Amino acid sequence: MEQLEAMGRAAKEAAAALARLSGAQKSRLLEAVADELLAMQEAIVAANTNDMEKARQQGLPAAMLDRLLLSPERLSGVVADVRKVAGLPDPVGQVLDGRLLPNGMRIERRRVPLGVIGVIYEARPNVTVDVASLCLKTGNAAILRGGKETLLTNLVLASAIRTALARCGLPEDCVQLVESTDRALVSGLLRLSRYVDMIIPRGGSGLQKHCMEEATIPVIVGGIGVCHIYLDESADEDKALPIIENAKVQRPTVCNSVETLLVHENRARAFLPKLSSFLARHGVVLHGCPKVMEILQPLGNAGYCPVVPWRDEELSREWLTVDLNVGVVAGIDAAIGHIHRYGSGHTEAILTANMQQAEYFVQEVDSSALFVNTSTRFTDGGEFGLGAEVAISTQKLHARGPMGLEALTTYKWIGRGDHLIR
Amino acid sequence: MEQLEAMGRAAKEAAAALARLSGAQKSRLLEAVADELLAMQEAIVAANTNDMEKARQQGLPAAMLDRLLLSPERLSGVVADVRKVAGLPDPVGQVLDGRLLPNGMRIERRRVPLGVIGVIYEARPNVTVDVASLCLKTGNAAILRGGKETLLTNLVLASAIRTALARCGLPEDCVQLVESTDRALVSGLLRLSRYVDMIIPRGGSGLQKHCMEEATIPVIVGGIGVCHIYLDESADEDKALPIIENAKVQRPTVCNSVETLLVHENRARAFLPKLSSFLARHGVVLHGCPKVMEILQPLGNAGYCPVVPWRDEELSREWLTVDLNVGVVAGIDAAIGHIHRYGSGHTEAILTANMQQAEYFVQEVDSSALFVNTSTRFTDGGEFGLGAEVAISTQKLHARGPMGLEALTTYKWIGRGDHLIR
């Protein structure tokens, strides 16, 4: 814990140096980080090869191994992203609002960095660079705690970033990596409220929950998407099918893919067989409510998706596969009830031709993103034009939905008066 | 705990009804609350008399008794505040920003209520009404847990508010009071993350810390003000004195009064005797660093404030009295160092004639409000023109400094497309 205290103190001091930088200085810093990563490419790839070798020996599944891999191609992608972030506008220093008060005080709210951000993440080593570059861009110091599977890779990546910091005359401790994989250090980091201003967990629901439970620091919970599409009575069938297909199969492993389709009862009998036939070529497995089973089971498997009864406990989980829950609902209120009961507050969409129903849906559903006749896959910082994505928040405080650079800032009030008293 | 679960569920349902109200409906609701409070004035005052009687029997000090008191005059003040909140503009529904994306999606961020807000507070019964009216104005349901000393008063106040809700055709459970003073219920409320979106603790640092430690829900920490004034080398002495006086004595019991004055060493010998003489009539006691002792102690007490050596552990606490720490510093960086070491991040002021020093101070000091030649007492929602004050946040996430109605809202992203896929 003493080690963490020391890291916290160093981060806080380093953050003050970062907060002073101009936008141009921060862009130059990120270009230096990109250069240094390229210069150290050999060492990075070698370290990653070691990590991969160990992981293989431990018998990690292929999907997991793929997440650990940082090939030269992937590294160029990471470096390109750093240069992209370098080119984004600097949010810090912006005056959010201000006015001249009746007593003569000039009051303004100025956007400032948060200070120190703690990031706890799992396998992918690119997160080390992504997060560090977003923090530096916004003038924040970062304390990073990556997964043990990529420790060697992360050590070299962090060392490259710290070299770039030193080259730019900044404290290396602007970016620090927790070098031990001791789990107690995670708990310690979550309670380092004296030095750390925000915790971002990047990982599965177990990690998110652990952070929520343990932290005395604000935690940005997010990234868990139990997303729904509601097919309203008035939906256009032919246009609905490609949206459902896109939301389910284009990239089923991400948080904004759809888990559950809810169909208005007056459309079920005609629509469900078409849907099953449309999705069959993707290997989709349907998990149906009793009504869906009644309609689809008699059709058999030839040219249709396999269909099994849905299970209550599966309705509030991410599939991350081409499985899809399908339910028949009596109408929009039943659909909204289902969403509030099982959803994670991430993204929901309505397919409808009826304007009132669309507005009712986006008004009543309490999720971070609501779409009308649009695939759930669009909940994404890049798609929303935010320039960069820090995380997708499914909580309501500070930031909701895709978080851009601004989500890594706060503001201070500044008042100037000619010797004003109250 | 089952009782809390039931309250949480009821609050969540009630919140959905509140979220649907128009601004005009919410204003009418608050007027109805004001009317009901007046109609029940006798019962409220009688309950308060009982609370006061019990508190007197328990030997509570006079200052505490004063905080419990809800006289007819104070109640009219509370009712007038409810009507004032009724008249404020409704922040909900505002479109924060939006654009037409290249793919044709119309995306917007719409301001929405947070949902359910838990408020944990201590003695003053007016908080029950203040908080309930701010929550209702912003379309949020509230779960209130007041101090045991005013339970009888709070019960009648809550019942008046619930009667008004029912009269307006809304669920009474939009506002619920935890009727037991069992402390375990506070811990339970802090972990009711399934239903409660935000916790506001209104009380001393013990309560704040307890909430931070225990909560799995975002907590708005605030209200603890260890505020500083730095008198720079170039400050105008005659204009500085009334500001320091105002910051210390105008209302010493509130969070934005000053605890510590830091004086540039080149000004100490001439300024400190003047200060001591200026403040003497208010009964101020100075707590000086060794240098201050050296300058002021020889002057004696006649016409001057008493002065005692300052103690390290008193530099990070609120006095809430007319005591004032005074230190001599080598310059602005030493002053900033002191502030970051001992301050609570609430409010700090610089007194200076030097523009560079002023800008350096507001840039470098990491507090929610920074003032130039202005009393610290101005950190206040009313003074800042926010219309109402929910709390003063000393944390950096979601809201910082005085929190207006907007701090009780969040946003949702709404995207509309003509059957868009990714």
- Each residue of A205-248: pLDDT tens digit? 889 999 999 999 999 988 899 999 999 999 999 999 999 999 99
Q: What are the Cα distances from residue A226, in Å, to A53, A279, A349?
A: 34, 20, 12
| Rounded-to-integer distance, Cα B182 and Cα A205, Å | 32
Residues 6+ apart with CB under 8 A from B6: none
Residue A188 C-alpha, separation from nearest chain B C-alpha, in angstroms: 13
Residues A79 and A160: beta-carbon distance below 8 Å = no
Is it the case that residue A57 has pLDDT exceeding 90? yes
Residues B387 and A187: beta-carbon distance below 8 Å = no
Q: CB distance B369–A16 less than 8 Å?
A: no
Query: Is B105 in the A-facing interface, judged by CB distances under 8 Å?
Result: yes
- Classify the C-alpha dihedral B95-B100-B104-B107 as positive or negative: negative
Is it the case that residue A1 has pLDDT exceeding 80? no
Confidence of residue B64 (pLDDT cuts 50, 70, 90): confident
Q: Structure tokens of B178?
A: 């935890």
Q: Structure tokens of A238?
A: 């032919």
Chain B, nearest residue to A240 by Cα: B419
Q: What percent of chain A has pLDDT over 90?
A: 91
Residues of A in contact with B372 (CB under 8 A): 414-417
Q: In this complex, which of A212, A396, A412 lies closest to B410 when CB atoms are compared?
A: A396
Query: Is B417 in the A-facing interface, judged by CB distances under 8 Å?
Result: yes
Averaged confidence pLDDT in chain A: 95
Q: CB distance B422–A396 less than 8 Å?
A: no
pTM of the model: 0.93
Confidence of residue A63 (pLDDT cuts 50, 70, 90): confident
Look up residue A89 and give its DSSP letter: P
Query: Is A16 in the B-facing interface, judged by CB distances under 8 Å?
Result: yes
pLDDT at B147: 92
Among A221, A282, A396, A398, the residue to mutate for chain B (most B Cβ within 10 A) = A396
Q: CB distance A398–B397 less than 8 Å?
A: yes
| Rounded-to-integer distance, Cα A239 and Cα A267, Å | 14
- Each residue of A142-198: pLDDT tens digit? 999 999 999 999 999 999 999 999 999 999 999 999 998 788 899 999 999 999 999
pLDDT at B262: 98
- Each residue of B184-242: pLDDT tens digit? 899 999 999 999 999 999 988 889 999 999 999 999 988 899 999 999 999 999 999 99
What ipTM was estimated for this complex? 0.93
Confidence of residue B387 (pLDDT cuts 50, 70, 90): confident
What part of A 164-193 touches B (C-beta under 8 Å)?
193
A170: exposed, middle or buried (C-beta count within 10 Å: 0-12, 13-18, 19+)? Answer: buried
**Nearest 5°: CA angle at B401, between B396 and B402?**
140
pLDDT at A166: 98
* Strand-pair category, A95-100 with A106-113: antiparallel
Averaged confidence pLDDT in chain B: 95
Query: Is A417 in the B-facing interface, judged by CB distances under 8 Å?
Result: yes
Q: What percent of chain A has pLDDT over 70?
A: 100
Q: CB distance B398–A398 less than 8 Å?
A: yes
Residues A342 and A316: beta-carbon distance below 8 Å = yes
Look up residue A132 and give its DSSP letter: H
Is it the case that residue B1 has pLDDT exceeding 80? no
Residue A56 C-alpha, separation from nearest chain B C-alpha, in angstroms: 35
Is it the case that residue B181 has pLDDT exceeding 90? no
Q: What are the Cα distances from residue A229, in Å, to A124, A147, A270, A288?
A: 30, 34, 18, 14
| Rounded-to-integer distance, Cα A90 and Cα A33, Å | 17
Query: Is B369 in the A-facing interface, judged by CB distances under 8 Å?
Result: yes
Residues of B in contact with A115 (CB under 8 A): 366, 396
Residues linked to residue A287 through DSSP beta bridges, in sequence order:
A308, A325
Which residue's entry shows tokens 């050296």?
B294
pLDDT at B378: 97
B41-69 CB burial, b ≥16 within 10 A, e <16: beebbebbeebbebbeeeebeeeeeebbb
| Rounded-to-integer distance, Cα B317 and Cα B313, Å | 7
The stretch B372-387 carries a mean pLDDT of 94
- Dihedral angle of Cα B220, B311, B269, B264, to the nearest 10 degrees: -30
